[in-house]
Amino acid sequence: MSTHPNPDVTAEPERTAYEHVVPAEGPRGWRRVATELLRRPVGVASILVLLGVIVLALFGDWLAPYEINDINIADRLQSPNAQYWFGTDELGRDILSRVIASSAVSVRVSVIAVSIALVVGVTMGLLAGFFGGWLDSVIMRSQDVLFAFPEILLAMAIVAILGPGVTTATIAIGVVYIPVFARVTRASTLSVRTETYVRASKSLGAGPWRQMTSHVLPNISAPIIVQTSLSLSFAILSEASLSFLGLGVQPPEPSWGRMLFDSRAFFQDAWWMSVFPGLAVFLTVLACNLLGDILRDVLDVRSAATAGGGTR
């Protein structure tokens, strides 16, 4: 044992012929998430469905075969045929075109509503979880109040104040969903706040703002993302419910919920008036939910850590 290699201080020995071969890391970060998603048939199917909905929402005007409000009494209540693929309603309007046009409304309402809920809810949850104390109590008690209202009742109350309409419905849904984001965020914040790396950041001189934004937020993004995808699906349902009750989208604008509302009287005779909009809601919500479930699996931090084969 007479010769010691010089770098008894460095992490890598000088004279090594061994490459420290560690099998190449798989794709990291978002690329890994994407790869995982695409590997699962259910994930692919969900993404395709949602992409389809978005395409319809954006380009519906060009894709729809007929004008959505073209009243054509002569062609009313036709069952699905070669001319009207989804049949017509009691005013002779093409169901297919209206279903397509509705997608725009649904997408718009759910995205905006969830955005409201996300921004307000996450902020509140982050502050409550991070600072604790009276701020936590105040914030979470207010969330409890909101949460205690049945969703529809609360939405109806807001609509009653602001008057029915798409915008009102959007705001109402957004407000109703704030508590769930606040809770999810607060719970994650509570567990991450005590992690050593947050303490380390504080010990290095970081103030609460930097601790929250640089360290807590990125590490709680997974449950928030999952919640977002789930909430999007519920928002679509909420919009449909509100419109079904006559509180959301007002005629003649179509929405899936509105179409279901309008189809009540013709339930037995013209099944196509309710089935197609209903199917549209069902498929979209299903795709969102499934995607949310898969994202939850894929974004699990532990599986991300072990994918690289971490050592002690």
Partner 1 sequence: MTTTVEAHLPAAEPQSAPLLTVEDLHVRFPVRGGGRRQWLHAVQDVSFTIGRGQTVGLVGESGSGKSTIGNALLRLVPVHRGSIRLGETDVLAADRRTITDVRRRMAMVFQDPLAALDPRSTVADSVAEPLRIHRIKPSGGRRARVTELMDLAGLPKRFLDRYPHELSGGQRQRVCIARALAAEPELLILDEATASLDVSVQSQIMNLLRQLQDEMGLSYLFISHDLASVEHMSDRVLVLYLGRIMERSPRESLYESPGHPYTQALISAIPLEDPVAERERRRIILEGDIPSPVDPPSGCVFRTRCPLAIPECSEDLPPGQDLGPGHVSYCIRAGEQVVPD
Partner 2 sequence: MSGALDVQSLSVTIGSARIVRDVSWSVAQGQTLGIVGESGSGKSVSVLSAAGLGPGNAEITGAVVLTGSDGVQHDLLSMGGNALRRVRGRRIGFVFQDPATSLNPMLTVERQLTEGPEVHLSMTPKQARGRALELLELVGIPDPERRLKAYPHELSGGMRQRVMIAVALACEPEVLIADEATTALDVTIQAQIIEAIRDLQERLGTATVWITHDLAVVGGIADEVVVMYGGEVVERAETVRLFQETKHPYTRALFESRPHLGSRAERLLSIPGSPPDPRAIPAGCVFWDRCSVRADERCRTEHPELVEPTDGHWVRSFYLPEDA
We find the least distance from the C-beta atom of residue 32 to partner 2, in angstroms, to be: 19
Q: Which is nearer to partner 1, 62 or 302 (CB)?
A: 302
Which string of b and e fits 215-251 if b means at least 16 CB within 10 Å?
A: bbbebbebebbbbbbbbbbbbbbbbbbbbbbebbbee
Query: Cα separations (Å) of 232 from 130, 212, 306?
Result: 26, 26, 30
When CB distances are held under 5 to 8 angstroms depending on the partner's kind, the choice from partner 2, partner 1, none that residue 31 binds is none
Where does residue 92 fall: left (phi above 0), alpha (psi -120 to 50 degrees), or beta otherwise? left
Q: How far is the C-alpha of 73 from the C-alpha of 258, rounded, in Å?
A: 20
Pinpoint the alpha helices (H) of the chain: 29-39, 41-63, 95-131, 133-148, 151-162, 166-193, 196-203, 208-210, 217-219, 221-244, 256-262, 272-298, 301-307
Residue span 25-54 as binding mask against partner 1, x where in contact by CB under 8 A, dash where not = x--x--------------------------
Q: Which is nearer to partner 2, 16 or 268 (CB)?
A: 16
Residue span 205-244 as binding mask against partner 1, x where in contact by CB under 8 A, dash where not = xxx--x---xx--xx-------------------------
Query: Cα separations (Å) of 17 from 1, 10, 20, 23?
Result: 20, 16, 9, 17
DSSP code at position 24: P
When CB distances are held under 5 to 8 angstroms depending on the partner's kind, the choice from partner 2, partner 1, none that residue 5 binds is partner 2
When CB distances are held under 5 to 8 angstroms depending on the partner's kind, the choice from partner 1, partner 2, none that residue 207 binds is partner 1
When CB distances are held under 5 to 8 angstroms depending on the partner's kind, the choice from partner 1, partner 2, none that residue 161 binds is none
Q: Which is nearer to partner 2, 22 or 204 (CB)?
A: 22
Q: How far is the C-alpha of 219 from the C-alpha of 193, rounded, in Å?
A: 10
Among 17, 24, 82, 148, binds partner 2 (CB under 8 A): 17
When CB distances are held under 5 to 8 angstroms depending on the partner's kind, the choice from partner 2, partner 1, none that residue 205 binds is partner 1
Binders of partner 1 among 94-133, rule CB under 8 A? none
Residue with tokens 């104040």: 161
Give the residues lining the site for partner 1 (CB under 8 A). 7-12, 25, 28, 195-197, 199-207, 210, 214-215, 218-219, 301, 304-305, 308, 310-312
Give the residues lining the site for partner 2 (CB under 8 A). 1, 3-5, 7-14, 16-18, 20-23, 309, 311-312
